[in-house]
Structure 1
Amino acid sequence: MSRAALDLLFLTPSGETLPSVRFRVLPFVDLGRARGLAVDWRRAPKAIHQRLGFLLTLPRARVIVIQQKLFAPWELSLIRRRCQTLVYDVDDALWALHPAEIGQPGSAEKAAKIKARFAHACANVDLVIAGNDYLAGHARETQANIFVLPTLLDTAKYTPAPPDAHGIGPFRVGWMGTSGNLFFLPEVLRQLSPHRERLDIRIVSDHAYEGELHEMVSFERWSPSLEVDQLRGFEVGLMPLTDDEYTRGKCGFKILQYMACGAVPVASAVGFNNEILTHGQDGLLVRQPSDWAAHILALAGDRDLLERMAQAARATVVQRFSLERMAPELWRALGL
């Protein structure tokens, strides 16, 4: 192979607003350049007829990291020719269908296809970077070289709001996420419905919530420039999940954002959520539907408890999930 043009190239499935790109790619592009490395990223076209030209004209790199994208085997072969080391970065259960897709027309065929592509991708790279141990376990079925790296947060940017007049007005409960995950909200709203007069329930997303009990919530469109202030508007942050193969692969990043910005997370006791949170110390885990209301009302009724848990939540993120503290681990794993 001729001399590589880049030290590191990331290939992504979408643009810079996709959370995995924003937090598992772009910060490392900036940090790598600050280290004196030649680092870049490219978004892979969605259209199959555009991808051949894209792949044939990729710059050569010492290391190429494929972030999430399930390329076909022939595409993976072309990428392999452009680098010395090929890496697959995964922070979702890419081999599993989203719960909302299960049972839909064509879902069985899609499930078989993505499972096969995930196995092939893991088997044909030099390293898999997994966002948690559950993902690592599945990758390990076809790949021995695994590095576990949670999704990290810039804790100098994601910070709590200055102290204000807490306790005035309804208790602020929030959910932030992409619209595909609004699917998980109805159960929470059903549990909170009898207490709606005490709560200000806020949804921040790319599309408004129009499901069951939509009249209970206020909507604010997500914006990258406003995101930190939107998070600071929550006193409690919600992360409801079903318990299935797809959700066990989640890396809990929503929880980390809440924690960094001073909101106490109340989250389903599913998958990596259990590893992030110490129940009763830096967040509250929901094991049965009635826990949603019980946990939120307990925090709403005890300002001292809320503030102690918010401080502990912030400390957990800084100690275990901060970009500054953990980024050197990635450079070592990549050999850069």
Structure 2
Amino acid sequence: MSTKMVAYTRSGKTSPSSNFRILQYLPYIKTKISARKLSSDYLYQHHGKASTIFQKMYWYSLYYLQIQFRLTFYLLMDIINPPRCIIIQRALSPKFVFPWNKALMIFVIKRTKTIIWDFDDDISCSKEITSFENKLLESNADTIVVTGSILKKRLPKNIQSRVKILPTTDGQMVRNDSITLINQRKNSYNKAIELLWLATATSLPFLEKIIDELEKAGEIILAKYQKKLTLHVVCNKPLNYIGKNFFIDNVEWSEQSAHQMMIQSHIGLMPLLDTDFCRAKGGFKLLQYKAAALPSVASAIGINTMYVNDGIDGFLIGKNYPNSWSSAIVHLADNWTRYSIMSENARDNWDNNYSFNNNLEQWKLMLQ
């Protein structure tokens, strides 16, 4: 029997989902798992940055065509040298499938002993996965890994027994001690408050919805505490806005830049809209903030209400909660003792419930 294992991911480390759902664990698993990266980092980045109609036509065409041709090549490799286990991150063939790839997918997936299908968003709701592939994986995946109970409940009842919940977490912060992180932030806390928004460009509209609240917070913090407010936007596209009462620092996302901004910042933000898609999101950014000992301010939507303990390690914003975005930020900016306690609580919550090592052990069990 073959001992070979392969993992199909959208791209390499430039894809946060590929990296933090799958790739970051591979070096720590004894059995070698070959990464099948369906797009190059170069095309993944450029298609994500495309903004004009012409740019989107050009880069999207190259991106999706590369995925199709790489998929053909990889599937043929898996026919010639069959793996024992295939891990599929999100979808093999997003948006559409070449006819011959349909045939290859059916052959390889039905023949492979173990199929693990992992996804961290409602990719059916967003139309990222085709109905053909969705049905194929629902029928043939031995284990389906999702980020939370809301996403699990959206899957058919007859496959619930095969569904496992595994939050997305960030292994970068394991080496950073929470006490050191908090003490480092104390040096800048009395002069400035640094907010962090860490996401991909598709989430920029959520951030834009709270701009007026950030303006209000910046005005209050400067007037009452003589502190400047900065928003670090770590994303594959910039936030095109010039703040009146706060400064915007656009930082292009990379694993390294995200890590640095998490160390440097004081408060993490995660605004969402109340839509079907957002209610099923995995809340990864909140767990990144927790890993970095950052109190967070988040919309009281979906899994956010499970990850943020209001008034304990951050604040939730919604109709059943007392704070607005601006008041929550001001509460975290006006008192170092309160801030440092909430920071410690955030990291403790991550260590106890959502740590990298917890997830790594779960992957080892699934791959036995």
How high is the TM-score relative to the length of structure 2?
0.78
Q: Deviations over 1:73-98 (max 9, x none)?
A: 5453133156211121111110112x
Matched, 1:318 2:340: no
Task: Write out aligned runs for 1:82-161 (5 A).
Answer: 83-97=112-126, 114=130, 117-141=133-157, 143-144=159-160, 145-154=162-171, 155-157=173-175, 159-160=177-178, 161=181
Which residue matches 1:104? none
Task: Give the Å deviation of 1:60.
Answer: 2.3
| Count of aligned pairs between the two proteins | 316
Change (3 A) 1:4 1:247: same
Which residue matches 1:203? 233
> Which of 1, 10, 13 is the matching residue for 2:7?
10
Kept after mapping to 2: 8 A contact 1:64/1:83? yes
> Which of 199, 205, 209 is the matching residue for 1:187?
209
Change (3 A) 1:79 1:158: farther
One-letter code of the match for 2:249? S
> How big is the alpha-carbon RMSD for the aligned residues of Structure 1 and Structure 2?
2.5
**How many Å separate the matches in 1 of 2:24 and 2:175?**
12
Kept after mapping to 1: 8 A contact 2:287/2:350? yes
Task: Give the Å deviation of 1:49.
Answer: 4.3
Task: Give the Å deviation of 1:159.
Answer: 4.7
Change (3 A) 1:74 1:132: farther
Percent identity between the aligned chains?
A: 23
Task: Give the Å deviation of 1:309.
Answer: 0.4
Change (3 A) 1:294 1:50: same
Which residue matches 1:78? 107
Q: Deviations over 1:120-140 (max 9, x none)?
A: 422232221111111211224
Which residue matches 2:308? 277
Identify which range, 211-220 or 231-240, moves more after superposition. 211-220
Matched, 1:54 2:54: no
**How many Å separate the matches in 1 of 2:290 and 2:34?**
30
Matched, 1:240 2:262: no
One-letter code of the match for 1:4? S
> Which of 288, 296, 306 is the matching residue for 1:257?
288
**How many Å separate the matches in 2 of 1:91 and 1:158?**
25
What residue ranges of structure 1 are gaps of 5+ in the alignment? 98-109
Task: Give the Å deviation of 1:4.
Answer: 1.8
**How many Å separate the matches in 1 of 2:325 and 2:233?**
16
Which residue matches 2:35? 41
Change (3 A) 1:27 1:202: closer
Change (3 A) 1:157 1:177: farther
Change (3 A) 1:173 1:152: closer
**How many Å separate the matches in 2 of 1:297 and 1:200?**
13
1:324 partner SS: helix
Which residue matches 1:100? none
**How many Å separate the matches in 2 of 1:137 and 1:313?**
27
**How many Å separate the matches in 1 of 2:2 and 2:144?**
21
Kept after mapping to 2: 8 A contact 1:61/1:82? no
1:64 partner SS: strand
One-letter code of the match for 2:175? K
One-letter code of the match for 2:76? L
Task: Give the Å deviation of 1:318.
Answer: 0.8
Q: Deviations over 1:18-67 (max 9, x none)?
A: 112111111221111xx3x1212101253234432331113422111100
Change (3 A) 1:148 1:65: same
One-letter code of the match for 2:116? V
**How many Å separate the matches in 2 of 1:252 and 1:206?**
18
Which residue matches 1:30? 27
Identify which range, 250-259 or 193-202, moves more after superposition. 193-202
**Deviation beyond 6 Å, 4+ runs, structure 1:** none
Change (3 A) 1:39 1:170: same
2:113 partner SS: strand
One-letter code of the match for 1:43? K
Task: Give the Å deviation of 1:69.
Answer: 1.2
2:298 partner SS: strand
**How many Å separate the matches in 2 of 1:326 and 1:15?**
20
How high is the TM-score relative to the length of structure 1?
0.85
**How many Å separate the matches in 2 of 1:125 and 1:119?**
10
**How many Å separate the matches in 1 of 2:144 and 2:22?**
15
**How many Å separate the matches in 1 of 2:189 and 2:71?**
54
One-letter code of the match for 1:143? I
